[in-house]
Amino acid sequence: MTPAEIAFLPYRPNVGMVLANPRGLVFAAQRLDSSADALQMPQGGIDAGEDPRTAALRELREETGIPESLISIEAEMPDWLTYDLPPDLVPKIWQGRFRGQKQRWFLLRYLGRDDQIDIETDHPEFSRWQWIAPDELIRRIVPFKRDVYTKVLTHFAPLLRN
Protein backbone atom coordinates (compact mmCIF):
# COMPACT_ATOMS: atom_id res chain seq x y z
CA MET A 1 0.00 0.00 0.00
CA THR A 2 1.19 3.49 -0.74
CA PRO A 3 1.45 6.17 1.97
CA ALA A 4 -1.48 8.01 0.33
CA GLU A 5 -3.65 4.87 0.43
CA ILE A 6 -2.77 4.31 4.09
CA ALA A 7 -3.51 7.93 5.02
CA PHE A 8 -7.00 7.54 3.56
CA LEU A 9 -7.85 4.55 5.79
CA PRO A 10 -9.90 5.00 8.99
CA TYR A 11 -8.86 4.07 12.52
CA ARG A 12 -10.29 0.92 14.09
CA PRO A 13 -12.41 1.65 17.21
CA ASN A 14 -10.77 -0.01 20.19
CA VAL A 15 -10.59 -0.04 23.98
CA GLY A 16 -7.57 -0.42 26.22
CA MET A 17 -7.46 -1.42 29.86
CA VAL A 18 -4.89 -0.46 32.47
CA LEU A 19 -5.46 -3.28 34.93
CA ALA A 20 -3.75 -2.31 38.18
CA ASN A 21 -3.23 -4.36 41.30
CA PRO A 22 -3.51 -2.80 44.79
CA ARG A 23 0.22 -1.92 44.75
CA GLY A 24 -0.12 0.16 41.56
CA LEU A 25 1.59 -2.34 39.28
CA VAL A 26 -0.08 -2.96 35.93
CA PHE A 27 -0.91 -6.15 34.06
CA ALA A 28 1.31 -6.62 31.01
CA ALA A 29 1.43 -9.60 28.66
CA GLN A 30 3.40 -10.99 25.75
CA ARG A 31 1.30 -11.47 22.60
CA LEU A 32 1.23 -14.99 21.15
CA ASP A 33 1.47 -13.65 17.58
CA SER A 34 4.63 -11.61 18.18
CA SER A 35 8.19 -12.80 18.34
CA ALA A 36 9.35 -9.41 19.62
CA ASP A 37 10.01 -9.19 23.36
CA ALA A 38 7.32 -6.57 23.85
CA LEU A 39 4.59 -6.43 26.46
CA GLN A 40 1.18 -4.82 26.17
CA MET A 41 -1.92 -4.18 28.24
CA PRO A 42 -5.26 -5.79 27.34
CA GLN A 43 -7.04 -4.12 24.45
CA GLY A 44 -9.54 -5.03 21.78
CA GLY A 45 -12.03 -3.92 19.18
CA ILE A 46 -15.41 -2.40 19.85
CA ASP A 47 -18.21 -4.38 18.22
CA ALA A 48 -20.92 -2.64 16.18
CA GLY A 49 -23.46 -1.07 18.55
CA GLU A 50 -21.28 -1.70 21.61
CA ASP A 51 -20.31 1.13 23.97
CA PRO A 52 -16.64 1.40 25.03
CA ARG A 53 -17.25 0.45 28.68
CA THR A 54 -19.07 -2.75 27.71
CA ALA A 55 -16.34 -3.54 25.17
CA ALA A 56 -13.65 -3.07 27.84
CA LEU A 57 -15.31 -5.52 30.22
CA ARG A 58 -15.87 -8.04 27.43
CA GLU A 59 -12.31 -7.79 26.11
CA LEU A 60 -10.84 -8.09 29.60
CA ARG A 61 -12.83 -11.29 30.21
CA GLU A 62 -11.93 -12.69 26.75
CA GLU A 63 -8.19 -12.02 27.14
CA THR A 64 -7.61 -12.69 30.85
CA GLY A 65 -10.59 -14.68 32.09
CA ILE A 66 -11.27 -11.93 34.65
CA PRO A 67 -14.98 -11.39 35.32
CA GLU A 68 -16.45 -7.97 36.10
CA SER A 69 -16.92 -9.04 39.74
CA LEU A 70 -13.13 -9.02 40.24
CA ILE A 71 -12.48 -5.45 39.08
CA SER A 72 -13.61 -1.93 39.81
CA ILE A 73 -13.62 0.70 37.09
CA GLU A 74 -11.78 3.67 38.58
CA ALA A 75 -11.43 6.05 35.64
CA GLU A 76 -11.81 6.58 31.91
CA MET A 77 -9.66 8.72 29.63
CA PRO A 78 -11.77 11.68 28.49
CA ASP A 79 -10.55 11.56 24.88
CA TRP A 80 -9.86 9.02 22.20
CA LEU A 81 -6.18 8.37 21.49
CA THR A 82 -4.87 7.16 18.13
CA TYR A 83 -1.82 5.36 16.88
CA ASP A 84 -0.74 4.44 13.37
CA LEU A 85 0.60 1.03 12.48
CA PRO A 86 3.99 0.92 10.79
CA PRO A 87 3.33 1.06 7.00
CA ASP A 88 4.59 -2.50 6.44
CA LEU A 89 2.01 -3.87 8.91
CA VAL A 90 -1.06 -2.08 7.51
CA PRO A 91 -1.73 -4.61 4.71
CA LYS A 92 -1.14 -7.55 7.08
CA ILE A 93 -3.41 -6.58 9.99
CA TRP A 94 -7.22 -6.34 9.74
CA GLN A 95 -6.99 -7.13 5.99
CA GLY A 96 -5.56 -3.65 5.34
CA ARG A 97 -8.84 -1.91 6.26
CA PHE A 98 -7.41 0.35 9.01
CA ARG A 99 -4.36 2.59 9.36
CA GLY A 100 -4.22 2.03 13.12
CA GLN A 101 -6.52 2.29 16.10
CA LYS A 102 -8.43 4.94 17.99
CA GLN A 103 -8.71 3.88 21.59
CA ARG A 104 -10.71 4.70 24.69
CA TRP A 105 -8.74 3.76 27.81
CA PHE A 106 -10.00 2.64 31.22
CA LEU A 107 -8.26 2.23 34.57
CA LEU A 108 -9.44 -0.96 36.26
CA ARG A 109 -8.42 -2.05 39.76
CA TYR A 110 -7.96 -5.79 40.15
CA LEU A 111 -9.64 -7.15 43.28
CA GLY A 112 -8.84 -10.82 42.86
CA ARG A 113 -5.90 -13.16 43.37
CA ASP A 114 -3.23 -13.81 40.76
CA ASP A 115 -4.38 -17.42 40.36
CA GLN A 116 -7.78 -16.12 39.18
CA ILE A 117 -6.17 -14.65 36.05
CA ASP A 118 -6.33 -17.15 33.21
CA ILE A 119 -4.81 -16.18 29.85
CA GLU A 120 -5.52 -19.68 28.49
CA THR A 121 -8.92 -18.56 27.23
CA ASP A 122 -11.05 -19.91 24.36
CA HIS A 123 -9.06 -17.73 21.94
CA PRO A 124 -5.74 -17.03 23.69
CA GLU A 125 -3.86 -13.88 22.79
CA PHE A 126 -1.05 -13.98 25.35
CA SER A 127 1.75 -16.43 26.11
CA ARG A 128 2.67 -15.02 29.53
CA TRP A 129 1.80 -12.13 31.83
CA GLN A 130 3.23 -10.24 34.79
CA TRP A 131 2.64 -7.27 37.08
CA ILE A 132 5.01 -4.48 36.09
CA ALA A 133 5.79 -0.88 37.02
CA PRO A 134 4.24 1.59 34.56
CA ASP A 135 7.59 3.15 33.58
CA GLU A 136 9.03 -0.29 32.82
CA LEU A 137 6.02 -1.11 30.65
CA ILE A 138 6.54 2.05 28.61
CA ARG A 139 10.09 0.89 27.87
CA ARG A 140 8.86 -2.56 26.83
CA ILE A 141 5.95 -1.68 24.53
CA VAL A 142 6.42 -1.75 20.76
CA PRO A 143 7.65 1.68 19.61
CA PHE A 144 4.55 2.58 17.57
CA LYS A 145 2.35 2.34 20.71
CA ARG A 146 4.80 4.07 23.09
CA ASP A 147 3.30 7.56 22.77
CA VAL A 148 -0.21 6.30 23.59
CA TYR A 149 1.05 4.25 26.54
CA THR A 150 2.96 7.25 27.88
CA LYS A 151 -0.16 9.46 27.68
CA VAL A 152 -2.39 6.82 29.28
CA LEU A 153 -0.07 5.92 32.13
CA THR A 154 0.76 9.57 32.82
CA HIS A 155 -2.94 10.44 32.92
CA PHE A 156 -3.72 7.60 35.36
CA ALA A 157 -0.51 7.96 37.43
CA PRO A 158 -2.11 9.77 40.41
CA LEU A 159 -4.73 7.01 40.72
CA LEU A 160 -2.19 4.23 40.29
CA ARG A 161 -0.24 5.49 43.30
CA ASN A 162 -3.29 5.42 45.60
What confidence tens digit (pLDDT) does each residue in 86-95 have? Answer: 999 999 999 9
Looking at the predicted structure, is the pLDDT value of residue 162 above 90? Answer: no
pLDDT, position 71: 97
pLDDT, position 38: 82
How does residue 34 score in pLDDT terms, banded at 50, 70 and 90?
Answer: confident
pLDDT, position 33: 83
pLDDT, position 5: 94
Looking at the predicted structure, is the pLDDT value of residue 149 above 90? Answer: yes
How many CB atoms neighbour CB 24 within 10 A? 16
CA distance 19 to 71: 8
Are 134 and 26 in contact by the 8 Å Cβ rule? The answer is yes
Q: Is the pTM of this model over 0.75?
A: yes
pLDDT, position 7: 95
Quick one: average pLDDT of 79-85? 96
- pLDDT over 90, % of the chain: 93
Looking at the predicted structure, is the pLDDT value of residue 37 above 90? Answer: no
Quick one: average pLDDT of 119-143? 94
CA distances from 127 to 10, 25, 27, 31, 120 (A): 30, 19, 13, 6, 8
The more confident residue out of 16 and 36 is 16
Contacts of 37 (CB under 8 A, 6+ apart): 30, 140
